[in-house]
Every structure is written in C-alpha cells, then in structure tokens.
C-alpha cells in the first residue's frame, strides 16, 4: 500500500515524563490497527513490535498449542518474502507480511511442531511459563528518524492491508480451573534471604558493587 492515506486518527498529545526527551505519536489505521511511533534521535538501532489479541487461552480444544505454533511459523517466510533468514533493507514491510500472508511451508511446519513439543515437555511444570498472557493487538515502532519520517515509512509498508476479521476476544465468565486442577503441588521452592545495610552506591553505580557483593556471598 504505497504511501496511501491509511491513517484515520492521529494523536500527538501523548503524556510523558518531563525528563523524557523522546517524541511520541499515536495512530489508528483505517483497518483498526493501533500504532505507537517513538522517535529517539540518540538511538543507533530501530525496532518494531506487534502485540496480538490471541494466545494459548484461545486455542481450539482439539488443536492445543496453535497460537504458539503460529508464532514460530511467522518467522519462516511469507508470500512476498518466501525465503527464511533473507536480509533486506525494508525490514518494516517484511515484519508486516507476518500478519498478512505467512507461507506455513510443509517442511517448516513439521520441524516447528517437533520444536514446540520439545518446549512443552521442558516447561510443562513451570508455573511462570504456564500463566503466560498476551496483550491486545497493537504496533510499536522505535527509531532515530522524526515522527513524520517514521509515519511515511509506515504508510509505505503493508501494515494497512492487514485484514480486520472482526474476531471477538474470548471472555472467561467463570474460573477455568476446577477441583482436579487446584490444590496440587507442582514443585517445591525453598530460599533464604539476607538483607544488609550498605553505604550509598550513587557515585559508584557503574562499578556494580551490589553485584560483586552478591557473587561473594
């Protein structure tokens, strides 16, 4: 979608800390995607991240692990950029293709199923891993360019073509855990904590004195 007006709303009055020197702009695209642009002239790297409104709790009962599987497959080629690990300078547009036309190649599918099965076996009894959650779908882009330049890059990408399928978020009106899931011991955890009063490290923070003390103890 080359430079089309895909922006339906723009917000330049985002509240930030007085000490924050970065500039922010919020956008809403015509397809409903919410975008946050962050301009940081001091950075030497750029980044983009997408939060999606699905996760393991929305997996179909008969296809458990589907969300995790899709997360793996999105990195393994799309119709527009079919090769794995192919480098190119239009990184933002390549990222957009993850959510438009992922290929789900048969050879990669079989490999990733085995990878996910291995991860599941490793973390099956890890409470922190089992309670992982996701946020609503939105895009965040960070770079050294100005907000106007970043918005132009966004318009030149294909994020505006991501289809809004109107999928409703699943709501849990009652606890998903019953007597058979609750009250069972998963693992024992023991620990011993000692708190010491130390001189201020304000002027020597770069030397990490507290880290050195932790290693010695």
User: Is 174 a residue of the active site?
Assistant: no
Other residues' Cβ atoms within 10 Å of the Cβ of residue 96? 25
Is residue 19 within 8 A of residue 33, CB to CB? The reply is: no
Measuring CA to CA, how many Å separate 136 from each of 43, 53, 119, 201? 27, 4, 25, 40
Rounded Cα–Cα distance for residues 34 and 26 (Å): 7
Contacts of 2-5 with CB under 8 Å at 24 or more apart are 2/156, 3/152, 3/155, 3/156, 4/155, 4/160, 5/155
Q: Which of 23, 71, 119, 145 is catalytic?
A: 71
Other residues' Cβ atoms within 10 Å of the Cβ of residue 76? 20
Please tell me whether residue 196 adopts helix, strand or coil conformation: coil
Is residue 7 within 8 A of residue 30, CB to CB? The reply is: yes
Query: Active-site residues: which are they?
Result: 71
């Amino acid at each position: 979608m080359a430079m089309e007006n895909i922006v339906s709303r723009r917000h330049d009055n985002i509240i930030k800390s007085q000490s924050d020197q970065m500039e922010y702009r919020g956008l809403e695209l015509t397809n409903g995607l919410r975008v946050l642009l962050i301009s940081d002239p001091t950075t030497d790297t750029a980044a983009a991240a997408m939060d999606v409104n699905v996760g393991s709790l929305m997996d179909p009962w008969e296809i458990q692990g589907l969300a995790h599987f899709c997360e793996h497959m999105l990195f393994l080629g799309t119709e527009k950029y079919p090769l794995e690990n192919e480098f190119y300078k239009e990184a933002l547009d390549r990222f957009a293709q993850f959510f438009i036309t992922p290929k789900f190649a048969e050879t990669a599918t079989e490999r990733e199923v085995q990878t996910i099965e291995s991860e599941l076996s490793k973390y099956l009894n890890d409470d922190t891993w089992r309670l992982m959650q996701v946020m609503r779908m939105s895009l965040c882009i960070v770079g050294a360019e100005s907000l106007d330049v970043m918005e132009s890059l966004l318009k030149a990408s294909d994020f505006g073509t991501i289809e809004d399928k109107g999928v409703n978020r699943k709501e849990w009106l009652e606890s998903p855990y019953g007597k058979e899931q609750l009250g069972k011991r998963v693992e024992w955890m023991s620990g011993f904590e000692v708190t010491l009063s130390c001189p201020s490290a304000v002027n020597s923070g770069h030397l990490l004195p507290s880290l050195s003390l932790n290693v010695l103890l």
